[in-house]
Amino acid sequence: MQRVIQAYLDHLTVERGLSRNTLTSYRRDLDRYARWLAEEGIDDLASVGSGQVTAHLATLRAEGLASSSAARAISAVRGLHRFAAREGVVGVDVAAEVRPPAPPRRLPKALDVDQVTRLLDVPADTPLGLRDKALLEFLYGTGARISEAVGAAIDDLELGDEPAAVLHGKGGRTRLVPVGGYAKAALGAYLVRGRPALAANGKGTPAVFLNARGGQLSRQSAWTILHRAASTAGLPVDGPHAVSPHTLRHSYATHLLDGGADVRVVQELLGHASVTTTQVYTLVTVDRLREVYATAHPRAR
């Protein structure tokens, strides 16, 4: 069982290029599945029937696993059985007809333009202040994931007449995105007046965003910067509407669509493999349209 699981994870690493975090989750899900089968007296995938896969799903839900986590776990199990059948380890894919639970559709949280302006209005008189402002402007100005921002290198930036940035996304995919005027100005100020002072404390790294010791800024530190700026701006930092590392990315996409951008253009800018992922943002925009209609039309109520 473990040999097949490892072969499947190797396949996902080499052929699919999944991220380390996704692979870690899949390994955890599959190890849990193997333990569950062992408790049922099954130590060979060839002995598994569709009933066992369905029963495993029911066990996950009975244990209180969130529907999104259960869906991912069953996707991992289905992928394992599909791989085993394709490689001839088993004769038939018994999990093909087992469907994961549909997770509840949660709309991305997005700030309005005024809230974004307040969030980005952070002090920028020190090297760290210049860095923080540049980071936040970069996140909102490019729609970058926080991992893409902290992973950006100096050579990934082009701040000339047509400013742009190369972002290194999930699965080794890269994309070129335009950099807005505010982000360009904030990055320029940081690179000239902030980064050299921080770099002097370190051993040299090509990363754009540096910590106080001159090393590459971590995702956790970037989250702390965002959290601190949100608190200063009077935005929620706790609870269901708390500003998170993805909030500026959600806001970027929503504001583009509100401004008339085509959903497929936004898909390319966000680096989504499928337009289906991007279309969730259109639901946010529709909700905004309903809100405006309800408050502005004289016969809406």
Reply yes or no on whether 99 is catalytic: no
Strands 174-178 and 164-168 turn out to be antiparallel
Reply yes or no on whether 20 is catalytic: no
Q: Which of 27, 109, 246, 288 does the annotation list as catalytic?
A: 246
Q: Which of 170, 175, 227, 288 does the annotation list as catalytic?
A: 170
Do 175 and 148 touch, CB atoms closer than 8 A? no
Lookup result for tokens 């992973």: 151
Reply yes or no on whether 170 is catalytic: yes
- CA distances 67 to 8, 80, 82, 257, Å, are 24, 20, 22, 29
Reply yes or no on whether 175 is catalytic: no
Q: Which of 32, 81, 249, 255 does the annotation list as catalytic?
A: 249
Do 107 and 122 touch, CB atoms closer than 8 A? no
Q: Which of 145, 184, 195, 250 does the annotation list as catalytic?
A: 145
Q: Which helix (H) or strand (E) holds 14?
A: none
CB neighbour list of residue 242: distance below 8 Å, 6 or more residues apart:
230, 236
Q: Which helix (H) or strand (E) holds 91?
A: none
Reply yes or no on whether 133 is catalytic: no
| Eight-class DSSP state of 92 | S
Alpha helices in the chain, H assignment, sequence order = 2-11, 20-39, 50-62, 67-86, 113-120, 127-142, 146-150, 181-193, 195-199, 219-232, 247-258, 263-270, 275-278, 280-296
Do 222 and 146 touch, CB atoms closer than 8 A? yes
Catalytic positions are 145, 170, 246, 249, 272, 281
